[in-house]
Chains A and B, each alone.
Chain A
């Protein structure tokens, strides 16, 4: 079974631009979560989508948004990029069977550099 895939793997943008990242979950997984990883900060939870609806949200500004399509694929958008948005953006998927305790499986990430 194919794992979580993310595109693009690397991206360079300039301040003020906007960017869209894509994530395809493991087949059959219905929940997709997004995380930002910066040095020393670990993984910061951005948001989670399930059945095309945002189910959970972390403490990030409104410049960070996302959506999920009917095939469970998800996109994340960051508008008006700032230098501090440079990070590794990770997507994770899980089955979302309704069981409370679930394991998330991560993609390789998209490395975003804002100049």
Chain B
């Protein structure tokens, strides 16, 4: 059961522009959401998270927005840099470490 969905397998943006990665979930019990970045041949690296009590969390160039009513979250990267090119995974959990991941979105930032 795909409780977390990333419907765009890939995204290409120009350097300096905004990258918006989207994620939808179906389980209303999820209360903690995370974004991970993954380079080839490496494990996922934690990027940013948000609790269900918030609707926005910002860390430098990265901002995560949560819309609980729509069961939707998004990751904004501004400005995008070529080094941001990677696969981005959205994850959600309802309790402790029972985390569900989306299939990932491959972001390509063109110089």
B43 touches A109 (CB 8 A): yes
B50 to chain A: closest residue by CB:
A101
Number of residues from B at the complex interface, CB < 8 A: 28
Task: Give the residues in chain B near A109, CB-CB below 8 Å.
Answer: 42-43
Number of residues from A at the complex interface, CB < 8 A: 29
Does residue B13 face the partner (Cβ distance < 8 Å to A)? no
> Interface readout for B68-111 with A: 1 if CB under 8 Å, 0 if not?
00000000000000000000010101011111111110000000
A55 touches B97 (CB 8 A): yes
Task: Give the residues in chain B near A102, CB-CB below 8 Å.
Answer: 32, 96-97
A100 touches B103 (CB 8 A): no
A48 touches B101 (CB 8 A): no
Task: Give the residues in chain A near B89, CB-CB below 8 Å.
Answer: 42-43
A residues 65-115 with Cβ under 8 Å of B? 90, 92, 94, 96, 100-109
Residues of A near any B CB (own CB < 8 A):
4, 6, 31, 33, 35, 40-45, 48, 50, 55-56, 90, 92, 94, 96, 100-109
Residues of B near any A CB (own CB < 8 A):
4, 6, 9, 31-32, 34, 36, 41-46, 49, 51, 89, 91, 93, 95-104
